[in-house]
A and B are shown apart, each in its own frame.
Chain A
């Protein structure tokens, strides 16, 4: 499956990119599994992932949400608007 991951706020700096495309052997992947995968891929994210919310196709999702081929997952760190 192919996933696009989009990083917001300071996560862009941790990863060094605004977005990346992942080609994975999995048929599907839960958000929790994606989080584990990103933890290994980007050690700089490891300490922050537990405070990161995930949105898929413009809706916030829970950690058991099942990602499908072609999905775009947005990683949203703690917010600081206003």
Chain B
């Protein structure tokens, strides 16, 4: 486990300290948290799994892209794996910027890219006792699409 993917509960304070910068006029913090229902089914928890080395590469790349594309001063992303209870944070994104406009844009970009590119999977646990892996987004470089 490393800088981007962890089994420990996520904490925003260390990320804010990393990005501390008196040139920054806006800090946007996004939390993704475990919700108590999905598609009408009551949810009691979530298990997140990652291909850790590749997920760390992906999150690091998304941080760099957020800075390069939107001109923000810093971006940090952490994703948690393992079993999470309702209300626990699965992902935290912190963006530090000169002004709020680019901070919001970069934050939105980062979470969208995490959902699209990070090799992370979630299994929903329902109140009824069963569970299901959620449908997701195929990684861009699929093993072979020509077979179709």
Q: Is the interface of B mostly helix, strand, loop or mixed?
A: mixed
Q: Does chain B have a CB within 8 A of A62?
A: yes
Question: Across the interface, do A52 and B120 meet the contact criterion of CB distance under 8 Å?
Answer: no
List chain A residues, Cβ under 8 A from B114.
81-82
Known: A32-B144, A58-B53. A82 touches B91 (CB 8 A): yes
From DSSP, what is the main secondary structure of chain A's interface residues?
mixed
**Contact (A63, B143) CB under 8 Å given A9-B49, A76-B119, A80-B120:** yes
Contact between chains at A8 and B122 (CB < 8 Å)? no
B interface size (C-beta, 8 A): 38
Docked-complex contact A60 and B139, CB < 8 angstroms: yes
State whether the Cβ of B70 lies closer than 8 Å to any Cβ in chain A: no
Instruction: From known contacts A10-B133, A58-B53, infer whether A80 and B143 are also in contact, taking CB-CB under 8 Å.
Output: no
A53 and B49: CB pair below 8 A? Answer: no
Report chain A residues within 8 Å CB of B147: 35, 49-50
Counting chain B CB atoms within 10 Å of each CB, the highest count among A32, A54, A79 belongs to: A79
Encode B22-48 as 1/0 by CB contact (under 8 A) with A: 000000000010000000000000001
Whether a CB of chain A sits under 8 angstroms from the CB of B118 is yes
Question: Which of chain A's residues have a CB closer than 8 A to the CB of B139?
Answer: 53, 60, 76, 78-79
- In the complex, what residues of A have CB within 8 A of residue B50's CB? 81
Question: Which residues of B are in contact with A by a Cβ distance under 8 Å?
Answer: 32, 48-51, 53-55, 57, 79, 90-91, 111, 114-123, 133-139, 141-148
Given contact pairs A62-B141, A62-B143, enumerate 8 new A-B contacts (beta carbons under 8 Å): A8-B49, A60-B54, A60-B141, A78-B139, A80-B115, A80-B136, A82-B90, A82-B91
